[in-house]
Every structure is written in C-alpha cells, then in structure tokens.
Amino acid sequence: MKDETRVNHPPAIELPDDNHPLNLPIFQNVKWETDTVRESERIARGERPGFFYSRLSNPSVRQLELMLAQLQRRDDCMVTASGVNAVAQTLVALTKSGDHVVFFTEGYGPTRQIIRGLLARFGVTHSMLSIDDLEGLERTLTARKTRLVWFESPTNPINKIADIDAITRLARAHGALTAIDNTAAGFHQHGEFDIDLFVHSLTKFATGSGDVMGGAVIARQGLIDQLRGDFRLFGAHLDALSASIMVRGLKTYFVRYRQQSANAMAIAEFLEKHPACARVRYPGLPSSPKAALARRQMRDFGAVICFDLEAGYEAGRHFTEALQLFARTPSFGSTESLAMPPQMIQPKDLSAEDLVVSGIGPGTIRLSIGLEDVDDLKADLSQALLQGVR
C-alpha cells in the first residue's frame, strides 16, 4: 500500500469486548458501511438497527434523543440544529394548506412570525389569543376545526402560566393536537399532562454554558415517526459534537436548574421589595399571577424573572448598562446571569392592542439568573437600580 492510499485507510482500532469507555465516544463521522449492499439498504429502510448517513442518524445524536425522550416521559425525540428550527419544522411538518392553528400572543416572537408569516404563505390559517383567554379558546375551537394548539408555559418573556390541563382538555375534546414549547420549564416538567408534543430550545438549559445551539421535539412514537420523514428532508440535523456536549451538560442539569430556581426566587423576592420595581413576575413568587396554578403544575420555577422598572424605557437601558455581573444579551438558562432591556425585548410585530395583551410594558426587563452567589447578584442589581433609575 502506498502512503497516498494509507492515509485514506487509517488502521482500525478494535476495542476488546470487556473494555468500555464511560462516555460514548463522539461519533464525528458522516458515513457508515456494512459488509453487504443488502444490509446497508435494510438500514436505510429502517428494517434493522444501524447507521447509514449522519443527516439521518448518528450514535452521539441518538444518545441525546433517547435521554431527552426519557426525561420528558415520552417515547421518542428528534433533535435539530436550533430551537427555532425545531419550532419551524414541527409546525410545517404537522400542517397543510387549509389547516388552522391556534397560538398565543404572549409567546416567543419568532414562533408568532413563523405561524403568521411562513405558514400563512402556504395557506395555513391561525387564531392568536391570550393565554389567559380560555373562553376564547373554547369559542375558537368550537367555531373552527383546528389542527394544532401551540402554547408555552411559562411564556417567554413575561412568565405567564398556562392552564395546561384546561388547554389540553379543550384541544382533545375538539380533536386538535397540542404542542408546548417547554424551553423555560425544562426537560423534567409537564410530562404528566396530556400534551402531544414537547418542543425545546436546547440552547438554554441542556448545557447551561451557552456554547452550543440545538432544538428538540419529543412525542409519542407515532408522531415522531410522522415527523421524521419531513425533518430528514429539511436537513437541519444536530452535529455529533454538539450532541455530545449536550449529553455531558445534562449530567449537571438538575443541580443547575434547581439552584438557578432557588437563586431566581431569592432575586425575585428582593426585586419585589425594591421601590424602583413593579409587577415582578416569577412563577414561584406568591404575588405573581397564577402562582397557585404554577405550584400545581411545576416543581421548580426556572431561571427567568420579568419585572417593570417604574421609571420606564430609557431607565431600562441605563439600568442594564450599569449592571456588572449580568450580560446584556438574549437567551436564558445559562450559568451566568443575563439581562434584557426594554429595547431588546419589545416585540416589533405586535399592534398596540396586542402589546397590552402580551404584558410587555415600556419598562419591562427580563433577567435570567445563573449560578453566581445571590448576594453578589443582589448587590449588582442594587447599584444598577440606583444608577439607572436616577
């Protein structure tokens, strides 16, 4: 064998049968072969286990999918290149021209844009309601055959709590599927409800370190099998390295989520007492709207706090610029604390009326609380509130 050939056929490394690595090696690999064409064909057709091409399936990615399905208490999962990709692909794959989708004003902006823009272009109609308007939901589902009800709880950014039991019962009674974007609640909550599909941005809590992006849809087998064909054609698969980083990150998920929830609770209580702050929304805070419902539905209340600065829009800018320990950036769930000023949080696609429904006011700030020492965070917030709100 000449060296030109040798470098393209590196030596095989056989692992002894009784010698296992503790972590699954990163399958940084695109193509698999078998000993015969027939077996490769059977794998490609899904007639036997095995791998064929990493856009379709990869062991590192599969390990993450199985882990997420188990955490969320459903049969199976598909991961994607980003959370917004999981949202878009799921919506496109579940609907066709003439279908009707219900969603809620208070939710994540790009989801609204996908439904009102992308899906509408392909003839999918929609109704946008308030997450608090259960009567409106019942009226809409009675009046219009609906394919899918898409919701969040807690909603991003304002932390409203959806009545999951009421929403899923209404949807089921009217033959509509339900999908929850469960990113803020995490992988371990809401699994006991009669929800058909769970969608996540993995960019937030999967690693907590904000170094990889990803998304997931988790559901019963029949639904995942139905989605898989379309998802493979979209080609926005997660790569093996990102999947491995997420599997590693999930090992500390519960410790992070619970400690971040405890830190967020302490910060919410602190903000609630501060004269510059109003309308502090944190699901664990007894004064937060629907706190009793949140307690029934959730065990941990998450990292996100929303509140209004009485002094308004410009004060929000000065306040977040004065913060030393909070990064002024989108996203949430990371181990470092983050702050979003009104300038970055105000939706551009909502009418003045819808903006009122959304609950986002001129001085609304979103915080994501990390794993720093709570007293350090309080001291930083105190000095920034003093400086920013002058």
Ligand X SMILES: Cc1ncc(COP(=O)(O)O)c(C=O)c1O
Closest approach of ligand X to the CB of residue 290, in Å: 18
Q: Which residue has the tokens 């004064």?
A: 287
Residue nearer to ligand X on the CB measure, 152 or 272? 152
Map residues 18-57 to x or -, x wherever contact with ligand X holds by CB under 6 A. ----------------------------------------
Q: Pick the stretch among 78-86, 218-226, 229-237, 252-260 that binds ligand X (CB under 6 A).
A: 78-86
Specify the residue, 153 or 259, whose C-beta has the smaller distance to ligand X: 153
Q: Tell me the three state secondary structure of residue 201.
A: strand
Closest CB to ligand X belongs to which residue? 83
**Can residue 215 be called a binding residue for ligand X (CB under 6 A)?**
yes
Among 77, 84, 164, 323, binds ligand X (CB under 6 A): 84
Q: Is 87 in the site for ligand X (CB under 6 A)?
A: yes
Nearest in space to 241 (alpha carbons), one of 214, 219, 269: 214
Contact between 209 and ligand X per CB under 6 A: no
Which residue's CB is nearer to ligand X, number 102 or number 217? 217
Q: Which of 104, 108, 151, 326 binds ligand X (CB under 6 A)?
A: 108
- Strands across the sheet containing 125-129: 76-80, 215-219, 197-201, 177-181, 148-152, 100-104, 125-129
Q: Which of 74, 79, 83, 250 lies at the binding interface for ligand X (CB under 6 A)?
A: 83
SS3 for 12? coil
Q: Which stretch binds ligand X (CB under 6 A): 68-76, 81-89, 128-136, 317-325?
A: 81-89
- Please spell the DSSP secondary structure of 32-70, one letter per residue: ---SSHHHHHHHHTTSSS--SBTTT--HHHHHHHHHHHH
Nearer to ligand X, 154 or 361 (CB): 154
Q: Does 181 bind ligand X (CB under 6 A)?
A: yes
Beta-strand pair 125-129/100-104: parallel
| Percent composition of the chain: helix, strand, coil (DSSP 3-state, to 5) | 40, 15, 45
Sole residue written with tokens 């193509």: 31
127 backbone dihedrals φ, ψ, rounded to 5°? -125, 130
Determine if the peptide bond prior to 347 is cis (ω within 30°): no
Per CB under 6 A, which of residues 306..365 are in contact with ligand X? 331
Q: Please report, as ranges, the residues that interact with ligand X according to CB under 6 A.
A: 82-84, 87, 108, 152, 156, 181, 183, 201, 203, 213, 215, 331
